[in-house]
């Protein structure tokens, strides 16, 4: 019997648990540990902030879901990993002390490195939790006129909700007849787009932003936020009346001291999703050291690859499933400028972009499909 431990109840951990429950015989034990029993469907948090769905539409209870798939669920905080002893230390929660494993899947996502931006917590809205999205929604409701800044801090690596927020706000203010009283600016350390040099995406996005009269300020690496202004490390500053920022991301602190991560604590894996130079350990999702944006669809595909390979390893077979690093995402503009982008990041092929009302609709359907098949 093998004891498989999965850390993290996000897209990556949930899909890995479900896949392993299908692929491994019943004699093997599968346990999922996460700090909260609630799974959050992050791609819907922009819609939650704008009142297009409710809190209960964006999360579900993992304990019920996992039980029905013969996976043990433990609500607890992971403190550290010892891959040599094959042991995970739990800081607090439903269990305390150590959990032993034969195989480990690490899927603890990213850490928000808000300490790198002075004043972030005090003065910026963000969209990295259900509560934060609802707080931002309240501020949108109260906003009437002035300057709105929406953006990414250096290292945020999540452009989609930035564009979706800007488009949704522009449309809402149009509906309220207040669009002319607001100036909307997107700020970013990078040029517009999802990946450097993607001219197709840059062109399509620039056209859509200008159709909504949304400015884009590249080369704007935010360093500090005060009650009414953002300032950058290269001496720029903008005053604001409403601010939504994605903070810098970093890998999980639970592995940062093990010598298996890069400078930002992201874990080095190969294309089978096995952690480089550590036996019986896989890492998947936002926590891994791959280039480009950090997206849920990547976490899902990595989880499928890792689970298939782990099941093969348990049965004594060679690993045969390999991950290909692709962007496949939708930016919902709320109308005919919504776009689907596909790009293979590991080749130099240009991204393909398709635009139309259909893609916004497809994103909503994608969420319903996810809920129906995983909750």
| Binding residues vs ligand FAD (CB under 6 A) | 8-13, 34-36, 42-43, 45-46, 77-78, 107-109, 127-128, 158, 160-161, 252, 254, 285-286, 294-297, 299, 329
Give the nearer residue to ligand FAD in terms of CB position, either 233 or 352. 352
3-state class percentages of the chain: helix first, strand second, coil last, to nearest 5: 35, 30, 40
Sequence-distant (6+) residues with CB within 8 A of 342 are 326, 327, 328, 351, 352
Q: How far is the CB of 196 from ligand FAD (least distance, A)?
A: 19
Is residue 48 within 8 A of residue 22, CB to CB? The reply is: no
Q: How far is the CB of 293 from ligand FAD (least distance, A)?
A: 8
Return the H-helix or E-strand segment holding 34.
strand 29-34
Q: How far is the CB of 334 from ligand FAD (least distance, A)?
A: 14
Give the nearer residue to ligand FAD in terms of CB position, either 236 or 356. 356
Give the nearer residue to ligand FAD in terms of CB position, either 286 or 313. 286
Give the nearer residue to ligand FAD in terms of CB position, either 124 or 254. 254
Q: Report the C-alpha gap between 280 and 262 in whole angstroms.
A: 20
DSSP, collapsed to helix, strand or coil, labels residue 306 as helix
Q: How far is the CB of 315 from ligand FAD (least distance, A)?
A: 26
Q: How far is the CB of 90 from ligand FAD (least distance, A)?
A: 8
Q: How far is the CB of 20 from ligand FAD (least distance, A)?
A: 15
- Nearest 5°: the CA angle 119, 123, 127 is 105
Sequence-distant (6+) residues with CB within 8 A of 335 are 171, 357, 360
Give the nearer residue to ligand FAD in terms of CB position, either 209 or 244. 244
Give the nearer residue to ligand FAD in terms of CB position, either 78 or 99. 78
Give the nearer residue to ligand FAD in terms of CB position, either 2 or 46. 46
- What angle in degrees, to the nearest 10, is found between the helix axes of 357-374 and 11-23? 50
Q: How far is the CB of 166 from ligand FAD (least distance, A)?
A: 13
Strand-pair partners of 150: 186, 244
| DSSP structure class, residue 288 | B
Q: Report the C-alpha gap between 191 and 194 in whole angstroms.
A: 9
Give the nearer residue to ligand FAD in terms of CB position, either 87 or 183. 87
Give the nearer residue to ligand FAD in terms of CB position, either 52 or 297. 297
HEC states along 84-143? CCCEEEEEEECCCEEEECCEEEECCCCEECHHHCECHHHHCECCCCHHHHHHHHHHHHHC
Q: How far is the CB of 359 from ligand FAD (least distance, A)?
A: 11
Q: How far is the CB of 368 from ligand FAD (least distance, A)?
A: 14
Give the nearer residue to ligand FAD in terms of CB position, either 108 or 245. 108
The CA-based dihedral angle spanning residues 269, 20, 310, 315, taken in that order and rounded to the nearest 10 degrees: 180
Ramachandran area for residue 31 (φ above 0: left; ψ -120 to 50: alpha; else beta): beta
Q: How far is the CB of 202 from ligand FAD (least distance, A)?
A: 19
| CA distances in angstroms from 146 to 133, 140, 240, 245, 348, listed in the order given | 21, 12, 7, 17, 41
DSSP characters for 160-222? HHHHHHHHHHHHHHHHTT-GGGEEEEEE-SS-SSSSTT-HHHHHHHHHHHHHTTEEEE-S--E
């Amino acid at each position: 019997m093998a004891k498989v431990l999965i850390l993290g109840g996000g897209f990556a951990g949930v899909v890995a648990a479900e896949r392993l429950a299908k692929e491994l015989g019943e004699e093997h034990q599968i346990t999922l540990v996460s700090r909260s029993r609630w799974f959050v469907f992050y791609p819907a948090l922009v819609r939650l902030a704008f009142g297009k769905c409710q809190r209960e539409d964006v999360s579900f209870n993992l304990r019920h879901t996992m039980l029905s798939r013969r996976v043990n669920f433990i609500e607890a905080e992971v403190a550290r990993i010892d891959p040599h002893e094959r042991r995970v230390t739990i800081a607090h929660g439903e269990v305390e002390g150590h959990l032993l494993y034969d195989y480990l899947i690490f899927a603890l996502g990213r850490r928000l490195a808000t300490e790198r931006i002075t004043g972030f917590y005090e003065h910026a809205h963000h969209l990295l939790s259900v509560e934060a999205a609802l707080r931002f929604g309240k501020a949108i409701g109260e906003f009437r006129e002035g300057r709105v800044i929406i953006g990414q801090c250096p290292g945020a690596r999540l452009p989609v909700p930035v564009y979706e927020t800007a488009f949704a706000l522009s449309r809402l203010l149009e509906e309220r007849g207040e669009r002319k009283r607001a100036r909307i600016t997107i700020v970013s350390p990078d040029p517009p787009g999802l990946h450097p040099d993607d001219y197709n995406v840059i062109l399509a996005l620039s056209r859509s932003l200008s159709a909504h009269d949304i400015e884009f300020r590249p080369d704007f690496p935010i360093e500090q936020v005060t009650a009414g202004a953002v300032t950058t490390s290269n001496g720029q500053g903008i005053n604001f009346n409403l601010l939504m920022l994605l903070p810098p991301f970093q890998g999980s602190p639970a592995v940062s001291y093990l010598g298996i991560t890069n400078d930002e604590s992201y874990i080095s894996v190969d294309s089978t999703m096995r952690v480089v130079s550590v036996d019986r350990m896989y890492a998947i999702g936002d926590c891994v050291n791959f280039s480009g944006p950090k997206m849920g669809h990547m976490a899902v595909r990595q989880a499928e690859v890792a689970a298939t390979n782990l099941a093969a390893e348990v049965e004594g077979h060679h690993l045969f499933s390999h991950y290909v690093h692709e962007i496949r995402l939708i930016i919902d503009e709320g109308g005919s400028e919504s776009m689907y982008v596909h790009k293979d990041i590991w080749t130099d092929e240009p991204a393909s972009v398709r635009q139309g009302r259909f893609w916004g609709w497809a994103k909503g359907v994608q969420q319903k499909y996810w809920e129906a098949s995983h909750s």
